[in-house]
Amino acid sequence: MVDRVVIVTGANSGIGKMTALELARKGARVVMICRSRSKGEAAMAEIIAQSGSAQVELIIADFASLESVRRAADAFLKSHDRLHVLVNNAGLYMSERLLSQEGYEMTFAVNHLAPFLLTNLLLERLRASAPARVVTVSSAAHMTGHIRFDDLNATRGFSGFRAYGDSKLANVLFSNELARRLEGSAVTSNSLHPGVVASNFASGTGGLMGVFFSLARPFFSSPEQGAQTSIYLASAPEVAGVSGKYYANKRPQSSSAESKNRDVQRRLWDVSADLVKLS
């Protein structure tokens, strides 16, 4: 990964932080995109100290704001003429229905619309830097998901678990459609399930789901274990030409039937492009 430029979103904690750390150890120039400046700076200092690399940078962006995503992409493009790997890692779980700055249901906005927009804003730089890779962190929870095109804002009977599963399905659909659109470009796109990881994810969740996370957390994988598939897809030579796949434990797996539906993939892409006002 020496001389390779990598972006990792949500890199201040959990699997994002471990992904950034390991890629820095491999010699990559790592750009962390984080919501909190204080947490981002603290994580950056740790990564620099533990990796022995000074090639670690920080860009601040709140994925609950598409305008903030645009500013982050602009900041990167102005300061870097190459991008070889984009790891779309940032995500959240919401136990109640809240809206993003633009008025979209928060889970859908942060987990899908933000990385969709960021990737598209950086796509020409990825193409120009090829061979390049886009790695999108999804979840096995996508198996429970369904894209409700008539209610993407989850206005009817909101369920945090359902919204999360739907957003993770959107990740796989997006990754698969992106892979098809990038055919022949030497830029690959793959998604993955990191495992159930003991990180800060869903740390503020209330209700029954909060009780479940609290009781089950001791049995979850460590962030180091959870980051392995992200690191593998971002750096392993053996997957250099692989695209349009869904991975778990560093192996290709079968994703849900809906995630493979090309009509749903194309429709979600077109609807998402309209929602984020992609020119």
Q: Give the CATH number of the domain where residue 143 resides.
A: 3.40.50.720
Q: Which domain holds residue 106?
A: 5-196+224-275
93, 164, 232, 247: the active-site residue: 164
Reduce the secondary structure of 168-212 to three states and give it as a string.
HHHHHHHHHHHHHHCCCCCEEEEEEECCCECCCCCCCCCHHHHHH
> What is the model's pLDDT at position 204?
55
> What is the model's pLDDT at position 222?
77
Cα→Cα distances 278→70, 79, 186, 273, 274, Å: 11, 22, 23, 5, 6
Number of CB atoms found within 10 A of residue 215's CB? 9
> What is the model's pLDDT at position 225?
86
Q: Does residue 215 form part of some domain?
A: no
Q: Does residue 211 form part of some domain?
A: no
Q: Does residue 36 form part of some domain?
A: yes
Q: Does residue 219 form part of some domain?
A: no
> What is the model's pLDDT at position 229?
97
Q: Does residue 208 form part of some domain?
A: no
Give pTM, 2 decimals.
0.92
> What is the model's pLDDT at position 134?
99
Question: Is 232 part of the annotated catalytic residue set?
Answer: no
91 three-class SS: coil
Q: Is the dihedral of CA 86, 251, 169, 94 positive or negative?
A: negative
What single letter denotes the amino acid at residue 141?
A
271 three-class SS: helix
For the chain (279 residues), the mean pLDDT of every run of 10, in chain order, is 97 96 98 98 98 97 98 98 98 96 98 98 98 98 97 96 97 98 97 74 54 49 85 98 97 98 98 95
User: Structurally, how many domains does the chain consist of?
Assistant: 1
- Residue 243 tokens, joined: 């695209």
> What is the model's pLDDT at position 146?
98
Q: How far is CA 61 from the centre of its chain?
A: 14
> What is the model's pLDDT at position 226?
87
